[in-house]
């Protein structure tokens, strides 16, 4: 039996993305730094999505790359118009990504069913939890996109935090003040094995805890292995306040990660 649908070439879509990024070029250094951040982030999410999707079939790998390439299109007009990546102070960037995707007919090269799956995955990739009852392909693409996105947001944040203050892309810290210690609510959430809610954050340190708590939301064993290889948790531990209660919850997440890695190796 022949392969009914041949694999589309993504080169035109990749080229479109480059010219889309160029269309936002600005002489305002602050704006350009944040656009560069999202362009690099998108390219890394594509790479990591492919790493995670490896072995899940050529067609799925192609769809994973398409979803990754499109997932943050809305970040560019968001930062241009609102000077923030904080959705609560601007708009839902994932909805805007889906809108840009449709306006430019980016998915017209795909069959309607696959197009629909990618649209939903992009549209809800930033939801607190993966919605129930999604079709299998949509759910798989969404879970994979969320994993790949987290991997690179960690990279962005770690680089942001370790850069001199005048070289930081302002959007990456979401504007949280750098106060000492961590707040009770985020600490309690991590201790209870739950993801931290964005609305409970009061400081940059709380934001670090929120990112540590994402480890509870990882879907694929390949992502867990990348977290370990890239020493994500170790790097967050050194960036966090060295308080007993903070180190305790980080150790707890570490045990969770170890157990998940052991389970997935069986």
Q: Which residues bind Fe ion (CB under 5 A)?
A: 72, 149
Work out how close the CB of 44 gets to Fe ion at its nearest, in angstroms, rounded to a whole number.
9
C-alpha to C-alpha distance for 45 and 73, rounded to whole angstroms: 13
DSSP 8-state code for residue 129: S
Instruction: Tell me whether residue 66 or residue 187 sits nearer to Fe ion (CB atom).
Output: 66
Residues 48, 226 contacting (CB under 8 angstroms): yes
**Which CA distances in Å does 72 have to 41, 228, 266?**
9, 25, 35
- CB-based contacts of 138, cutoff 8 Å, min separation 6: 116, 117, 120, 121
Q: For residues 147 and 149, which CB has a smaller minimum distance to Fe ion in the complex?
A: 149
For the bound state, the minimum distance from the C-beta of residue 235 to Fe ion, rounded and expressed in Å, comes to 19
Beta strand extents in 68-122 (DSSP E only): none
CB 93 within 8 A of CB 74: yes
Minimum separation from the CB atom of position 68 to Fe ion (A): 8
Q: How far is the CB of 138 from Fe ion (least distance, A)?
A: 18
The CB-of-265 to Fe ion minimum distance in angstroms stands at 28
Residue 224 to residue 35: CA distance in whole angstroms: 29
Q: How far is the CB of 105 from Fe ion (least distance, A)?
A: 22
Q: What is the largest CA-CA distance in the chain?
A: 64
The SS3 assignment for 246 reads helix
Q: Supply the minimum distance, in Å, between the C-beta of residue 257 and Fe ion.
A: 22
Give 255-259's long-range contacts (Cβ < 8 A, gap of 24+).
256/193, 256/215, 256/216, 257/215, 257/224, 257/227, 257/228, 257/233
Q: Is the dihedral of CA 160, 77, 125, 200 positive or negative?
A: positive
């Amino acid at each position: 039996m022949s392969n009914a649908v041949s694999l589309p070439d993504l080169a035109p879509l990749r080229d479109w993305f480059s010219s889309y990024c160029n269309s936002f070029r600005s002489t305002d250094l602050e704006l350009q730094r944040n656009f560069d951040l999202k362009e690099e982030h998108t390219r890394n999410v594509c790479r990591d999505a492919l790493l995670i999707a490896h072995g899940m079939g050529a067609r799925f790998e192609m769809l994973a790359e398409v979803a990754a390439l499109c997932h943050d299109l809305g970040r560019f007009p968001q930062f241009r118009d609102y000077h923030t990546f904080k959705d609560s102070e601007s708009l839902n960037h994932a909805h805007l990504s889906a809108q840009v995707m449709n306006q430019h007919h980016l998915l017209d090269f795909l069959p309607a069913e696959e197009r629909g799956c990618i649209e939903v995955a992009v549209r809800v990739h930033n939801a607190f939890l993966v919605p129930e009852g999604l079709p299998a392909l949509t759910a798989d693409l969404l879970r994979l996109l969320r994993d790949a996105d987290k991997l690179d947001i960690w990279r962005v944040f770690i680089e942001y935090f370790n850069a001199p203050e005048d070289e930081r892309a302002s959007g990456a810290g979401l504007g949280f003040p750098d106060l000492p210690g961590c707040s009770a609510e985020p600490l309690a959430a991590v201790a209870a094995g739950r993801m931290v809610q964005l609305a409970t954050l009061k400081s940059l340190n709380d934001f670090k805890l929120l990112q540590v708590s994402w480890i509870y939301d990882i879907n694929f064993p390949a992502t867990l292995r990348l977290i370990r290889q890239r020493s994500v948790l170790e790097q967050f531990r050194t960036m966090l306040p060295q308080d007993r209660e903070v180190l305790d919850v980080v150790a707890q997440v570490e045990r969770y990660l170890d157990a998940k890695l052991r389970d997935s190796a069986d």
